[in-house]
A and B are shown apart, each in its own frame.
Chain A
């Protein structure tokens, strides 16, 4: 008897508590909203623990800004990189974007069309000479409808071949191939020597796109073709022979076992790991990988590491000294922020992206989007110096997945994965991409 009545009271208590929690949640939200009115809400993916160059530099600059402006309250929300992308898209769908956040080039058009982000052209001209300090091409991904919507942070290359010259020598290759034919011969030689030629971790699907195809395809098609595709002018099609040739080049690499067998189930950090364990002679990724190699690779591997880009392709029509790159993430401002907050946000973004910030990014081992005066005298990691050298002697071309519509990229990436395992021919892959392109242009 006593226990049953005890249970009853307990259950009732629980029920009341649950209701209380529910209503309390509602209350909290409201309080949060009033709090937000004075603090700038900001979302990013910078993680101190990961020790990545540009994010760490941004965190240090952010702390510095907070120290100098104790009157400005910044409410940070920090996500992991991949979660960040999902979360920002979800928030955009619910029209609940924070005041200041990071966007990728491919998000620009959608966010701008929906009126969710501010055009920043006036802001760029407010600071004397600031706009011209950015490396040419780094803002292109964030342009939409004739306006700039993002201030880029880092602007390095997404295609770089990190190779181990000791393993190359072991296979009888004394210098990095200068033509595509020599490149494919080198791959055969590496295979004969029992070394995995290229470590590939394409589970995230973007590696093949950003680090391979964007550069390789431009060598075949030229920039004009891509501009036509982007502007939907002329009769440029993904089924054009030049583009199919580019896909075929990748297909051929897969056919001659240039990659590890599990390329579609490991990710980019695992491809770096394969390389750092001395299991593979090369891996192809952006300049950010240099930071990881510098801090994590065993000394002998790091000492043997050289950097190259795809060699020139015989018979391909266009410029061959090109590298895809020019901008990864950029700051964007919510279109709904108040005047007062906007002024504060502008100061903050300027502090995070000016030449001082660029210098810090460079000193940590990544290529900033802004030019850095006096970089010759700076003490920067060896690999970063090598990359700077390459970047300065070549021309940036657009990274596909920062400029093409997300749905085309999705179709392209899935087809690339299938092509790598011989499930679809380059011709059919091109057809599928073209189909999605036509559907989007309607």
Chain B
């Protein structure tokens, strides 16, 4: 008991350490959240005049086609990102544990760099890459003789969602890579040694040891991926502003448009609350699926 107390700081100390973070969190996240929930019950254009309308905003939201289309776009990004971000990050992290790969540090750093760039920078960068006349992508395509592949990448509603998802995937691979590499270092070396003695190939080791041992890491990364992509906004805002029309509008963009372009802050808050509910729902479902697999 006494030894334990010597290491463990007193409760008061713990709370004192937590306090600054908690205070910031309360004012930056919790308070606005409850305020948004309250605003969503009003018809409000900013300023002092507010009319209480009860659940009217949510009734409108249920039938708002643009909102559901935006939700569909979020789902599209999530599915591609789980495959792209988590999948590719896992593959690369497996590669980086192989002994024949040179310059591991270098690869890791380079892959991680996009992560530290601001979303707005990434958005601008990629809208230049996609530019129809001067863009890198179309230039490369035409220089290797694939003129027929040239597209107005951000203007065709059928492909715009793919175009705006690519930078998102590219940016965040590094983030998941670091998580996977850290988790892989926690897998006991003995397991691999035993497998080697049994004659298992590198890929069989990956499939039968690394993969199952990382199950919980996968759950966490997928959850982060869902949560992150439900609130994606800045990249797309910079690249297309939700256009053409509404074809690349995501929920956060829609909440922004409703609140600040249409001045309907009450309904905009309802959209945000809807976003929160749907995100929690998705995360709950993904956790349920993860649990079933276990049993």
Contact = CB atoms under 8 A, between A and B. Distances in A.
Interface string B215-250: 000000000000000000000000111011111000
Given A89-B260, A264-B154, A424 B132 contact: no
Nearest to A267: B241
B263 interface: yes
A172 interface: no
Interface string A102-142: 00000000110111100000000000000000000000000
A414 B259 CA distance: 16
Interface stretch (A39-47, A66-74, A255-263): A255-263
A393 to B, nearest CB: 35
A359 interface: no
B249 to A, nearest CB: 8
Given A19-B20, A262-B131, A406 B263 contact: yes
Contact of A260 (B48, B132, B247): B132
Contacts of B16: 15
A417 B47 contact: no
B48 to A, nearest CB: 6
Interface string B148-190: 0000111111000000000000000000000000000000000
A18 interface: yes
B263 A95 contact: no
Contact of A110 (B46, B153, B240): B46
Contact of B132 (A92, A94, A115, A261): A261
Nearest to B268: A93
B238 to A, nearest CB: 10
Interface residues of B, number: 38
Given A19-B20, A93-B47, A265 B261 contact: no
A262 B208 CA distance: 49
Interface string B31-63: 000000000000001111100000000000000
Contact of B49 (A94, A113, A418): A113
B262 A407 contact: yes
B120 to A, nearest CB: 12
B262 A406 contact: yes
B133 interface: yes
A15 B20 contact: yes
Chain B CB count within 10 A is highest, among A261, A265, A274, for: A265
A274 B134 CA distance: 11
B167 to A, nearest CB: 14
From A86, A261, A279, residue with most partner B Cβ within 10 Å: A261
A113 B264 CA distance: 14
B20 A93 contact: no
Contacts of B67: none
Contact of B46 (A11, A114, A262, A414): A114
Contacts of B240: 203, 264-265
Contacts of B91: none
B132 A110 contact: no
Contacts of A203: 240-241, 243
B209 interface: no
Contacts of B243: 203, 205, 264-265, 414, 417
B263 A264 contact: no
Contacts of A420: 244
B130 interface: yes
Nearest to A19: B20
Contact of B257 (A90, A410, A424): A410
Nearest to A408: B262
A22 interface: yes
Interface string A273-308: 010000100000000000000000000000000000
A421 interface: yes
A115 B48 contact: yes
Interface in A388-441: 406-407, 409-410, 414-415, 417-418, 420-421, 423-424
Contact of B264 (A115, A266, A407): A407
B64 to A, nearest CB: 11
B47 A262 contact: no
B100 interface: no
Contacts of A266: 131
B244 A264 contact: yes
B250 to A, nearest CB: 14
A426 to B, nearest CB: 14
A409 to B, nearest CB: 8
Most buried by B among A203, A204, A420: A203
Nearest to A8: B9
A421 B240 CA distance: 14
Interface string B109-142: 0000000000000000001001111000000000
B251 interface: no
A93 B42 CA distance: 13
B274 to A, nearest CB: 18
Contacts of B259: 93
A96 to B, nearest CB: 10
B17 interface: yes
Contacts of A95: 46-48
Contact of A415 (B132, B245, B264): B245
Contacts of A264: 154-155, 240, 243-244
Contacts of A260: 132-133
A87 to B, nearest CB: 10
Contacts of A115: 47-49
A110 B24 CA distance: 33
A262 B20 contact: no
The 10 closest A-B pairs by CB, nearest first: A114-B47, A418-B245, A93-B46, A265-B154, A262-B132, A407-B262, A264-B244, A18-B20, A261-B152, A417-B244
Given A110-B263, A265-B239, A265-B244, 19 more contacts: A19-B19, A22-B24, A86-B260, A89-B46, A92-B46, A95-B46, A95-B48, A111-B47, A113-B45, A114-B48, A115-B48, A262-B131, A263-B155, A264-B243, A410-B257, A417-B245, A418-B247, A421-B155, A423-B245
19 contacts: A93-B259, A95-B47, A95-B48, A110-B47, A113-B47, A115-B49, A261-B155, A262-B131, A264-B155, A264-B240, A265-B132, A265-B152, A265-B155, A406-B263, A407-B263, A418-B246, A421-B245, A423-B157, A423-B244
